[in-house]
Structure 1
């Protein structure tokens, strides 16, 4: 494949997917802001670990820091630039790479939340593609060391979904899907915004909750109060997404109406979803932790405003109340400021 690829932001998802691309012969330049991470990748290669041997390998990569991007002018332009930074860094990342794109080059948002509009404000809509990473469950645990906590999904579940804002299937979204297949299953979608909001339902119900409680994925499933808060927050996000006109895809074996019914007190609906969440505990490693939970442990700013805050903002636009999402924004921001410590007790009265 004779294309040049940039990966701007080489944390859990960016680093994991870039490493798989490089292993399969794609010319990828990894760009990251963490000097220790960049130095170790260049010195020792990138170590990727998974649940299976197939995913566990070391690969030599070429990495540069953000202050070195100015030297890329000498090397030729990029055909594809992935942005896999935090949402609040989207415009910075787009500005960083904009001048190094080929004439038909484009930018792919490989991020949580919904950042295509932020990126388009810098590079233009004609240069923007979206790509959802669903249930990849990876973590940058140390410089140049990324661990995935769930097995390769393959035919059982499509992890990556690439799409255009206008909904047509184009050569470039097919290319993005092809690049993502080096890591796991991928497809081109005609419904980028429905896929984005479906992922937002998951992120808004899990990520802030992990940050505010200190619980990992399995802990949130087995803790009674946390599990039910997950379900009720998801129901709020589902109702907002539906009011916006999106077709939503929730956890396999359930329908959006079941989550809404559970949140409104339907015991049978609640039990069915709780059983599903508890059954998932066996499918992931104990170390699995949503990204905001990882951020809180590492003392970093979270994406609470861009994820739960976005649900609250859009809910207000369509007249859907989102009290739990609003409360979660406040709670996580208090934890970020150090006013309170992450603890399951923070949500037990909800």
Structure 2
């Protein structure tokens, strides 16, 4: 990722190697604040309260959280307790479970005194692998964008995305954004329509922040504008990320993704989902079985940003009760293809 003109990962070990350093995404884009996590409890809070978010990043943070727990108490009982605590921080993204299982497997047969070091090493490997997976996803999607540009070489490729599936949601590159970054870097003109992504506005706050730092042309639009843009022929493709893809290819992603898929289908716009293998859940037959996280109503009823004097403040938008489901499920029949580290697949799973 490019931050202040420098290549930077979104998570890294502290200088003493005993903790991790992450960007506090709640402060972006108004303030770039790095925070250190020094315990399993701090990692759990960071995930639950969305200091950090995005399926791969949640998995990476949880992996380090488990390692930090084992540095304090490497017993079997502590391992199981820490895994249980971290697993229940957020219920929807499957990468969380995958990362905890990967660390647990790496240390399960080791004597207690060797567990912490092995856990940190496995967490490091998870992060390194995520970077390579996202780079490969980018290479797969780059060919799609290259082909779209060849169809209309006189103008930028117009891509619409929803939520934030960029480097803030992964260790680097992102999933849905990786092809965009690689295309931009390769000199292919690209313009991104960035859904604001209510209620937490991850598109307007995070994706736009990323694209701006990387120099990618983009425009923030209201979530409800996507259908009109597609109807007007202003979208060549929709590319989104995902928190979980089930065995039949159903896609769970930020609330509002399903509506984009319906609009894309109705207007003949290809709808692509970018994901690494760690986000595929072969154990669930369909999206009907995915637990949909219900988050606090305040995320919907309140909004935070700078006032006229530049002071970040929170205001209330409504006095009525609110419901806040965080995700929805897009049926596989609406997905044109899955952009993976192994290429673009027209179907996934069995």
Q: TM-score, normalised by structure 2?
A: 0.30
Q: TM-score, normalised by structure 1?
A: 0.30
